[in-house]
Amino acid sequence: MTKLWGGRFEGQSENWIDEFGASISFDQALAKQDILGSLAHVKMLGHTGILTEQETTDIQTGLLAVQKKLTEGDLQFSIENEDIHLNIETFLHEEIGAVAGKLHTGRSRNDQVATDMHLYLKDIVQETIKKIRTFRKVLVKTAEAHIETIMPGYTHLQHAQPISFAHHLMAYYGMLKRDQERFEESLKRIDISPLGCAALAGTTFPIDREYSAKELGFSAIYENSLDGVSDRDFILEFLSNSSIMMMHLSRFCEELILWCSHEFQFIELTDTFSTGSSIMPQKKNPDMAELIRGKSGRVFGNLFGLLTVLKGLPLAYNKDLQEDKEGMFDTAHTILTSLEIMAGMIQNMKINTDIMEKSTEKDFSNATELADYLAGKGMPFRQAHEIVGKLVLQCTKQGIYLQDIPLEEYQNVTPLIEADIYDALASRTAVKRRNSLGGTGFEQVRKAVNHALKELSDSNT
């Protein structure tokens, strides 16, 4: 079969070479966008008089017929036509004959594929923003129900200070808010049309790039044709933003995995998001959380893969750029599915509030409370820190905790300690009193939750 670009060539390539060079196995995912781009392009060609009214109508009719077949699943893509562009053009030729060849007037596959990817990512990023927002709603609603649920706060995975569970959840709310903002900000760099940049230098035909951009819903056009066909920054930015978000999801999943272990028992994931063992009947494994944690690696890899492809490419188009798509498609699928699963896991998990709170009562996470208590009585904090450290050491040797030390012993250490020390050492008191702006105090967490609810009530947030 003669290639659509084959006029320059005498020989025929072998099938295995065609298979290696073809991208149709994956870039068929751009079929919808490719047809939309062609519809806008032919309309522009008619608008500028480059094609006759009849030619324009014939091509539009043919493209709409191909679009209908695509929607109905009636198109069979072939490796012989190597990519989505040549496949669609072949289908169009089958519909309307030789006039189909006039569709490619004033454009190249270089600006065509770039246009397809801009359209694709515009849709994906908007869908991602919606799913992030849905997950943020789940987080804040769960937090609203657990403002006064107490859990250990950790540093170095060691009990540090007791905190509100809602406060912990709202930390992830903040991360997801920043993730959403990054995707929103990236849209202005995705929402640019390269159509009409042609191969690299523009075209001699009197095209109207602003017209076709408007037809496709783009808010701007590339001002430099070389940049328009060679730019993949918008994909890198998508992969980067996705990587940061997946890192956040992975951190959260790591905690969920710990929390539902026998050692913690803070939460229980529903059966929907768990699996069993083929040999151990008792097992309930947090596989969905583990998969998201694992899939973060493939998203990171897609980012580094494209960075590596691009780092040595001269302007303008190079066949290496065929490697820009599979990682983009994979990342898009991965993040959209991960967000949906995360929202479901958090919305439906069982939270063992009693176990969470009890885990703060037999530890030394109230040590800072004692140091703050002494500092509040006028003792320099460094001196208070040293005294409390020695008391903790003494307790560990005796197998007791700070709240178990008799008042008389406390007063032998320093007369600043009075009977109210035991209330100060209580986990609930410790959390309640940390009322600094952005702190874990119940009043501050309630303000944060209410602020988040107000944010989410705004359809643009």
Q: Determine the Cα–Cα distance for residues 46 and 55; give it in Å rounded to an integer.
A: 8
- Per the annotation, the verdict on 243 as an active-site residue is no
Around Cβ 272, how many Cβ atoms within 10 Å? 10
Around Cβ 226, how many Cβ atoms within 10 Å? 15
Helical (H) or strand (E) element with 297: helix 287-310
Contacts of 151 (CB under 8 A, 6+ apart): 162, 163, 164, 165, 168, 266, 356, 357, 359, 360
Virtual torsion, Cα 234, 123, 458, 237, nearest 10 deg: -20
Q: Determine the Cα–Cα distance for residues 395 and 447; give it in Å rounded to an integer.
A: 37
Q: Determine the Cα–Cα distance for residues 6 and 166; give it in Å rounded to an integer.
A: 64
Phi first, then psi, for residue 250 (nearest 5°) are -65, -40
Q: Do 345 and 260 meet the contact criterion of CB atoms below 8 Å apart?
A: no
Q: Do 337 and 392 meet the contact criterion of CB atoms below 8 Å apart?
A: no
Virtual torsion, Cα 287, 288, 291, 292, nearest 10 deg: -150
Tokens of 184: 């929103």
Judged by DSSP in three states, 98 sits in helix
Catalytic choice (13, 219, 261, 277): 277
Q: Which residues of 297-326 are buried (b: 16+ CB within 10 A; e: fewer)?
A: eebbebbebbeebbeeeeebbeeebbebbb
Catalytic choice (156, 262, 436, 459): 156
Q: Determine the Cα–Cα distance for residues 282 and 96; give it in Å rounded to an integer.
A: 64
Q: Determine the Cα–Cα distance for residues 278 and 292; give it in Å rounded to an integer.
A: 22
- Per the annotation, the verdict on 104 as an active-site residue is no
Q: Which DSSP symbol is given to 144? A: H
Looking at the annotation, which residues are catalytic? 156, 277
